[in-house]
Structure formats: structure tokens, C-alpha cells
Amino acid sequence: MPAKKAAKKAAKKMAKKATHHLPSHNLRRAYEHLGRIDILEGALAGAHFVQVSALATLAQQQLEAGRARDGADLLRAAEHICFAALAPEPGPGAVELVSADLRAAITAELHHLTRRAEDLWNDAESDDDQAHETIAAIYTAALDQAAAAYARGAYRPALELARAAEALAHIDVGFTARLLDTEQSRRIAS
């Protein structure tokens, strides 16, 4: 009897895992990320707005090219940047009050995400150097900002930015994409 139950559980796990590779799964993910970005983007300004806009544009191009997984991952990174930008930070000189156990868990997760991002990141040349440079610049900025946020005790933004970098590390930089024109990419949220 236990062997039958284990076999059933394994089959159920494999079926669930297989759905993550379906194009419809990635299209749904992209749709959900884009919906949340649409809601959050209005509250962004400055560099975060430009980064999110650039990633959303690249994602749209990837979706149109039939690369739903890359599109969904670009939008996932953009969503994490939105959450990092909007997360409350402790006031000047104040540190977010967290227990020692929670701080240890946050530190471990930040190191895990950073290590995973660095392991996955492929700094190879792409078919479109401008798109690759944009993604690389946002990836580097996310890691740098995550470390700075953690150092000042802003743990939520630090984790969100590390998650954004990890999501960007999943992108296949060999894709061909057009970036938006410079005027559109430099707009600032009103």
C-alpha cells in the first residue's frame, strides 16, 4: 500500500512539474506579472520607472517573438523592482526591528539569491548588444542596490532586488530585441 501511495505522489509531482514547461504556463505568468506591474508602475519614479519600463518593453518583444519564458522572467524581474521601490524603508539612522532568528534567515536568503544569480548569470555577447547591455546594467544595479539596502537595514527592498537579479539571470541573452527609443526610455513617471 505505501508503494502505491508513493507512486501516486511521484506521478502527481511529475505532472505538476511538466506544466511549468508549457508555453501556456509562461504566457499566464507573463499576463499576471504584467497586470501587477500595471498597478504598481504608476507609483514609481526615476530610475526604477525607467528600469521597469525597459524590462516591460523587452518582455513584450519576447512574447511577440514566441519566447514566453524569457518574457515572463523579464516581467518577474520588473515586478520585483516595483516592490523594492515601493517597500517602506526604516527612517534615517533607524534599523528595521527584526529578531536575530529572522535576520539570520533574511541573510541566508539574500546570500542564496545572490549566489544563485551569480551562478546563473551569463555575461556572453548577444545578438543585440543594446538589449544585453540594458539587462546587464539592470542586473548589476539590482545586486548593488540589494547589498546597499541590506547594509542600511532595509531588508524587504534588499530581498526584492536580489530576486530581481536572480530573475534576470534566467534570461537567455542570445535573443534579438529592439529597445525603445531613447526618448521613451528616459521618460519619468508623472
User: Is pLDDT larger for residue 108 or for residue 12?
Assistant: 108
Name, in order, each residue with C-beta under 8 angstroms of 59's C-beta and a sequence gap of 6 or more. 30, 34, 70, 71, 72, 74, 75, 78
**What pLDDT is recorded for position 175?**
55
Q: Which three cell numbers stand for residue 80?
A: 520585483
Compute how many other C-beta atoms are within 10 angstroms of the C-beta atom of residue 153: 16
User: Is pLDDT larger for residue 38 or for residue 190?
Assistant: 38
Closest CA to 153 of 94, 113, 102: 94
Residue 20 has pLDDT above 70, yes or no: no
Instruction: Please give the share of the chain, as a percent, with pLDDT higher than 70.
Output: 72
User: Is pLDDT larger for residue 175 or for residue 141?
Assistant: 141
Residue type, 35: G
Residue 109 has pLDDT above 90, yes or no: yes
**What pLDDT is recorded for position 123?**
56
How confident is the model over 45-54, as pLDDT tens digits? 899 999 999 9
d(CA 40, CA 35): 9
pLDDT confidence bin for 177, thresholds 50/70/90: very low
User: Is pLDDT larger for residue 108 or for residue 171?
Assistant: 108
Closest CA to 127 of 159, 92, 173: 173
What average pLDDT does the chain have?
81
Residue 107 has pLDDT above 60, yes or no: yes
